[in-house]
């Protein structure tokens, strides 16, 4: 498991009323190989940071994420593969002819001074409700695509804000779960989780029916994922769970990886067997 290097400066305690206001916090930075994006995102969430996280991958790929009180609200990418119209075409929200019309609007966007979403609605190419849904999915895909990155540089600018009206509308926990489900490779999750003989155990408050239901809602779990929660009582090892005939390894690991990251689950090491049983 990679050690999470402490590159983030966390807020200090309250300042006395007669103390001058502190200067704005300096920008913070680090390398993705030392603190990967899911862990970095959770650190920003736990410390309730407000500002803009910029991540560069390679020489030219740059993605930005704005947060308010630790919750991601908006994302932006400089990659053509992340264009909204391309995703809408792939989802069937735009036909090929509508897509071509959208590209013309996109080319003239600077002259019109409007966002592409506004232009699509005004041109009758997409309904407002479909646009809102597509925009949120588009923003989430920009964000969770960074979960695959194993190297690059990140920089956090405290206090930076965005005036965009469309926000992610998704909890940090659900974003991390979605990224683990769809993006994080199985090998990386095993590297983080460790020994298969460990027994997952939820926090006491999450072991009740009400607690499990609340946790499933917060992470936006699908029914098959939520079913695992009842087994996280510290009595069954990961190896035992995976031996079940219908066990989905990636599904189980994504859930354990996420719950452990957000500190809602601990992994109990196996009890050593008596010497006589080992012979």
Amino acid 277: pLDDT: 52
Residues 186, 214 share a domain: yes
Residues 188, 113 share a domain: no
Residues 248, 131 share a domain: no
Residues 196, 121 share a domain: no
Amino acid 2: pLDDT: 42
Q: Is the residue at 189 inside a domain?
A: yes
Closest to 234 measured CA to CA, from 196, 273, 200: 200
Higher pLDDT, 197 or 94: 197
Amino acid 15: pLDDT: 39
Other residues' Cβ atoms within 10 Å of the Cβ of residue 155: 14
Q: Is the residue at 270 inside a domain?
A: no
Residues 38, 114 share a domain: no
| Overall number of domains in the chain | 3
Amino acid 127: pLDDT: 75
Q: Is the residue at 239 inside a domain?
A: yes
pLDDT at 125 over 90: no
pLDDT at 47 over 70: yes
Residues 154, 64 share a domain: yes
pLDDT at 278 over 60: no
Residues 60, 45 share a domain: yes
* Adjacent-strand bridge partners of 233: 201
pLDDT tens column, 205-251 = 999 999 999 999 999 999 999 999 999 999 999 999 999 888 999 99
pLDDT at 1 over 50: no
Residues 238, 193 share a domain: yes
Amino acid 235: pLDDT: 93
User: What are the E-state strand segments in the chain?
Assistant: 28-31, 51-57, 61-68, 71-77, 153-158, 199-202, 265-268
Least-confidence region, from 56-65, 101-110, 151-160 = 101-110
* Adjacent-strand bridge partners of 68: 71
Task: Please provide residue 172's backbone torsions phi and psi, each rounded to the nearest 5 degrees.
Answer: -60, -40
Mean pLDDT of the region 135-160: 86
Higher pLDDT, 274 or 42: 42
pLDDT tier at 12 (50, 70, 90 boundaries)? Answer: very low
The rounded distance, in Å, linking the Cα atoms of 179 and 258 is 9
The rounded distance, in Å, linking the Cα atoms of 173 and 81 is 26
The rounded distance, in Å, linking the Cα atoms of 184 and 148 is 6
Higher pLDDT, 27 or 189: 189
Residues 35, 133 share a domain: no
Q: Is the residue at 184 inside a domain?
A: yes
Least-confidence region, from 21-30, 39-48, 98-107, 194-203 = 21-30
Residues 190, 256 share a domain: yes
Domain that residue 130 falls in? 83-139
pLDDT at 24 over 50: no
Residues 147, 132 share a domain: no
Residues 189, 94 share a domain: no
Q: What is the DSSP string of 116-133?
A: HHHHHHHTTSS-HHHHHH
Q: Is the residue at 202 inside a domain?
A: yes
Q: Is the residue at 89 inside a domain?
A: yes
Q: Is the residue at 247 inside a domain?
A: yes
Q: Is the residue at 65 inside a domain?
A: yes
């Amino acid at each position: 498991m990679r050690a999470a290097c402490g590159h983030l400066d966390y807020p200090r305690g309250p300042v006395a009323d007669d103390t001058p206001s502190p200067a704005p916090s300096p920008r913070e930075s680090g390398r993705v190989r030392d603190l990967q994006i899911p862990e970095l995102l959770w650190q920003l969430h736990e410390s309730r940071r407000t500002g803009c996280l910029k991540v560069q991958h390679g020489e030219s790929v740059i993605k930005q994420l704005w947060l308010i009180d630790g919750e991601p609200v908006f994302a932006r990418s400089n990659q053509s593969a992340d264009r909204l119209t391309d995703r809408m075409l792939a989802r069937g929200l735009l036909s090929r002819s509508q897509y071509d019309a959208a590209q013309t609007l996109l080319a003239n966007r600077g002259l019109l001074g409007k966002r592409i979403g506004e232009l699509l609605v005004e041109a009758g190419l997409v309904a407002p409700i479909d646009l809102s849904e597509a925009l949120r999915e588009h923003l989430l895909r920009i964000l969770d695509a960074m979960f695959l990155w194993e190297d690059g540089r990140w920089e956090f600018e405290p206090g930076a804000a965005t005036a965009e009206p469309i926000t992610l509308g998704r909890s940090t926990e659900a974003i991390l779960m979605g990224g683990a489900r769809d993006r994080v490779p199985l090998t990386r999750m095993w590297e983080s989780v460790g020994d298969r003989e460990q027994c997952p155990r939820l926090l006491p408050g999450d072991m009740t029916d009400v607690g499990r239901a609340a946790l499933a809602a917060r992470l936006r779990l699908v029914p098959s994922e939520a079913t695992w929660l009842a087994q996280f009582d510290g009595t069954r090892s990961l190896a035992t769970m995976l031996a079940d005939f219908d066990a989905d390894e990636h599904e189980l690991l994504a859930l354990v990886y996420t719950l452990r990251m957000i500190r809602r689950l601990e992994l109990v090491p196996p009890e050593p067997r008596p010497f006589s049983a080992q012979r």
